[in-house]
Amino acid sequence: MDFVFNIFTNVGMGFSGIMNVECVLMISFGTFIGIVFGALPGLTATTGVSIFLPLTFFMPPVPGIGFLLGIYCGGMYGGSITAILINTPGAPAAAATVLDGFPLTQQGRALEALQMSLYASCIGGFLSAFILIVVSPLLATVALGFGPSQYFALGMFGMSIVAALSGGSIAKGLIAACFGLYLSFIGLDPINASLRLTFGTVELQNGVPLIPALIGLFAMSELYVQSEVVFKDVHKEKVIIRGKSLSWQDFRRCLRTIIKGSLIGTFIGAVPATGAAIAAFTSYNEAKRASKSEAFGRGELEGVAAPDSAHNGVTGGALIPLLTLGIPGDTVTAVLIGALMIQGLTPGPLLFETAAHTVFELYAALIMANICMLIMGIIGIRGCHRITDIPKHILQPILRTVLYRHLCHHDPFLRTILHVHNGLCRISFHQDTHPCGPRATQPHSWSVGGVQSAPRAATDARQFLGIHQ
């Protein structure tokens, strides 16, 4: 009973810390940006978080991280909008929503499908946040007993799961991970302070900054890829949202599927190297197996509820290993590690001792992001199709300006080189014609995994060997 009381006390403390104008506005703004990025095909939540990451450098920790969490949650939901309306998923996780979402639109039931997507996404987000609040302190308590050997094993685990995320090309994933390892070894050796791979460059003695690596691998490269289609004439269907609203009977019929999908998404999100797309398809397959309906694939509301509850359930689940063990659950949380470290917050079990109040406020910010998503969805659901009308030849210069503003403010020469270099390396992983084989699934994210995990793993291994010599 005391444990439950402590949970509610901690959440209450978190809400008391974020209930101010700055935090609420930043979380709301981030959620809106996330919905827009998620709904625009090719611009995902990962892209949004990495592009707007530099804006948080001069913010206090909670408004800054809350802003990025808003983009994360909104981006997961936003991908389903275009999946339902124009048969084009805005994000990979929304590919499962297409299977039943677009047939519902063709039947004149677009409004029902969009409302079901909204409610399922919000319930998935709320349930995953609750599980995060319950599980994280328990896991962190266990992790406090870890020594160098355990941390080395965790670091190796974080890097070894590259094979699981490399999709059709393990070679690409391994090359990307080795590239990340190479970047991580640049700078001073943490044990004996000898210089490694600096080539006489003073600026590299502190190592490769994490933020240029993140922005180059995610944001810059995505803008390079999107530049290929910016000025092409793309035919857009005229979408009219019509039909009756979602009935209580239909919602109640799908509620069990929503709860099951939320739990599946949270569990899969907590397993590193899985992510929202795997969660969405797993939940969809389970709903199809358990349902008595014959309409799956031809316009079934459960076919929208299952994947959408799962991919938003990933948001809380992916934060569990991030906050407690310092291992990202997916590509978005890989970027969030950099945001936390820039704010002076090192993910891991000690975070719950050194900055417990901040962790409680991040819990509350995640819940607030889902509340904002629900409110924005209810208000704007009939006009949400206009998001797809934003011209990319206008959006691209705005996003580039945000990134170049960051370049000019901090070490412009070195950071520009790092941005461009990492961006071009990611494009080489992205191309189907790369000699390593067929296109991999997000291999560049494991370059970031190498940059983040390798220094700590190498130091822990050497400490462990020194202790037992």
- In the chain the first and final C-alpha atoms are separated, in Å, by 47
> What are the angstrom distances between the C-alpha of 160 and each of 26, 144, 165, 233, 272?
36, 23, 10, 42, 10
pLDDT greater than 50 at residue 440: no
49 or 443: which carries more pLDDT confidence? Answer: 49
Q: DSSP secondary-structure letter at 217?
A: I
> What are the angstrom distances between the C-alpha of 153 and each of 159, 197, 319, 393, 461?
10, 26, 20, 46, 9
pLDDT band for 441, please (50, 70, 90 cuts): very low
pTM of the model: 0.74
Query: What would the mean pLDDT of 298-312 be, rounded to a whole number?
Result: 90
467 or 212: which carries more pLDDT confidence? Answer: 467
CB 165 within 8 A of CB 173: yes
Q: What is the mean pLDDT of the chain?
A: 76
Q: What is the pLDDT of residue 446?
A: 54
pLDDT greater than 90 at residue 259: yes
Please give the Cα distance from 132 to 106 (Å, whole number). 38
Q: What is the pLDDT of residue 437?
A: 35
pLDDT greater than 50 at residue 439: no
Please give the Cα distance from 147 to 141 (Å, whole number). 13
Please give the Cα distance from 270 to 277 (Å, whole number). 14
Per-residue pLDDT of 184-223, as tens digits, reads: 778 777 777 778 777 777 767 777 766 566 666 655 666 6
pLDDT band for 54, please (50, 70, 90 cuts): confident
Among 32-41, 135-144, 354-363, top mean pLDDT goes to 354-363
Q: What is the pLDDT of residue 398?
A: 65
Considering Cα of 30, then 401, then 424, then 189, what sign does the dihedral take? Answer: negative
3-state secondary structure of 196: strand
Phi-psi region of 186 (alpha: psi -120 to 50; beta: other; left: phi over 0): beta
Tokens 């590299």 sit on residue? 204
Please compute Rg for the chain using Cα positions. 22
CA atoms within 13 A on the CB side of 347: 28
As a whole-number percent, the residues of the chain with pLDDT over 90 amount to: 17
Please give the Cα distance from 34 to 217 (Å, whole number). 19
Query: What would the mean pLDDT of 233-239 be, rounded to a whole number?
Result: 52
CB 376 within 8 A of CB 236: no
For residue 416, the tally of other CB atoms under 10 A from its CB is: 15
For residue 164, the tally of other CB atoms under 10 A from its CB is: 15
For residue 194, the tally of other CB atoms under 10 A from its CB is: 7
pLDDT greater than 60 at residue 348: yes
Please give the Cα distance from 239 to 360 (Å, whole number). 42
pLDDT greater than 60 at residue 108: yes
